[in-house]
Amino acid sequence: MAPLTVSLEALDFAAIVRPGKMVCWGQACGEPTALTSRLMEQRAQIGGVSAFVGIGLGEAVDPVHADHVRFTSFCGTGTNRKLAAVGALDILPVHYSDLPNTLAGQVDVLLLQLAEHPDDGRLSLSCTSDYVEGLTKAARIVVAEINRQAPFTGALVDADDVDIAIRTDRPVLTLARGTPSAVDQAVAANVASLVEDGATLQLGLGALPDCIADLLVDRRDLGLHSGLIGDGAMRLIQSGAITNAAKPVDRGLSVTGTLLGSKDLLDFAHLNPTIEVRPIAKTHSLSKLAALPRFTAINSAIEVDLSGQANTEIAGGRYVGAIGGALDFLRGARASHGGVPILALPSTAEVRGQVSSRIVARLSGPATIGRADASIIVTEYGIADLRGLSLSERLKKMVAIAHPDFRDSFRKTANL
């Protein structure tokens, strides 16, 4: 049965959302901005609402809305940082692979941005499938913004699962490419040296992964299986470096949970049969990752200690990162035949003129990735493969890739 179609002006969230219940919407480029703006306009009339948000790019995630909205997320990324800075962001600390099952029992109303096929009227989740795909059946009410400018991808949704729809024709949220620094470029060069022809890539978010991608254009028959893809991955596909020809599963297909990048990326994905936008159950499954030979997981961290455990969540006392899917992918790479699990980061950070080491004796935040899952750590000063090494052996490797200004203090502390 087709959903009830109404105008945006007639949409009354006070009649849809139960006070205190949780509303969730597609993240990043997948945010239905007409719906989220309307929800925030009517937040006082609802009588208080809980909102689960992913990576924030839009204006709905704002401290001013915390007067009637309790925001929860898995991450402190994008505009979520404004909430975290004023203590208005609660964090759900779960691995990304666990997120769909966790949310299925909590989300009451789901807001989606959908695309409509120009020929046959089929509906697509467009930019993001990840954790919202399962919620289309689990949520009590599904409200959709069918946006004429949203890219149509193979992430189909049954019209019977949509209760209420509005139609819009407005630009989709995008993410501008970050500018890599000279240090980023040096880190990227070290990471690129670990990527073989025929490897299947997973790339994280930010300027560094895009920089790494730009250094892989000379590779042959790379594959792509990632939680998100950005402009760097698009350029690798366009260059012919990514063909997915060597993958034993999903051959010829680039697999992702979310599109996160520029309008060029969204236009590239529109009606593109070689890009598959899939739910977390398929992008982050350990068995599926292990079945990809030479699965090369490339993620980052805020800091890594001398034993290899990493904090990917908190910097300077604020929640700016995520547990996310890093550990899911690192474990997948370790289980893959010839897999390469990588954590890449600059050796230092500078805040208000103060330079600190990101290789540390003791983490200042949680050990998101424990030392039992320690992998290959890469900085601009080299590569430390910690797999199978004792603590004393790891310490020497980590000191060697730390910034030279901090190595002596580490050596003295460790009596090296």
CATH of the domain at 41: 3.40.1080.10
How many domains is the chain partitioned into structurally?
A: 2
33 inside domain: yes
43 and 135: one domain? Answer: yes
174 inside domain: no
Instruction: Give the mean model confidence (pLDDT) for residues 74-85.
Output: 95
55 inside domain: yes
323 and 293: one domain? Answer: yes
193 and 146: one domain? Answer: no
Cα angle for residues 287, 288, 293 (degrees, 5° grid)? 100
Beta-strand runs (E) in 333-396: 340-344, 348-351, 354-357, 359-360, 376-379, 382-385
324: left (phi over 0), alpha (psi -120 to 50) or beta: left
300 and 273: one domain? Answer: yes
Cα dihedral angle (76, 70, 92, 63), rounded to 10 degrees?
A: 10
With contact defined as beta carbons under 8 Å apart, do 266 and 127 qualify?
Answer: yes
186 and 162: one domain? Answer: no
Instruction: Give the mean model confidence (pLDDT) for residues 316-327.
Output: 95
Task: Map residue 78 onto helix, strand or coil.
Answer: strand
Q: Does the pLDDT value for residue 1 go beyond 70?
A: no
CATH of the domain at 275: 3.40.1080.20
190 and 156: one domain? Answer: no
pLDDT (tens digit per residue) in 127-185: 999 999 999 999 999 999 999 999 999 999 999 999 999 999 999 999 988 888 999 99
238 and 382: one domain? Answer: yes
Q: Which domain holds residue 203?
A: 182-414
175 inside domain: no
243 and 385: one domain? Answer: yes
163 and 266: one domain? Answer: no
Mean pLDDT computed over every residue of the chain: 96
- Report the alpha-carbon distance of residue 130 to residue 302 in Å, rounded: 24
95 and 208: one domain? Answer: no
125 inside domain: yes
378 inside domain: yes
* Confidence at residue 376, expressed as pLDDT on a 0 to 100 scale: 98
17 and 136: one domain? Answer: yes
Residues contacting residue 199 through CB under 8 Å, at least 6 positions apart: 219, 222, 223, 294, 295, 296, 340
309 inside domain: yes
* Domain-terminating residue out of 141, 168, 195: 168
158 and 211: one domain? Answer: no
* Domain-terminating residue out of 133, 168, 203: 168
pLDDT (tens digit per residue) in 255-274: 999 999 999 999 999 999 99
Q: Does the pLDDT value for residue 126 go beyond 70?
A: yes
177 inside domain: no
Q: Is the pTM of this model over 0.85?
A: yes
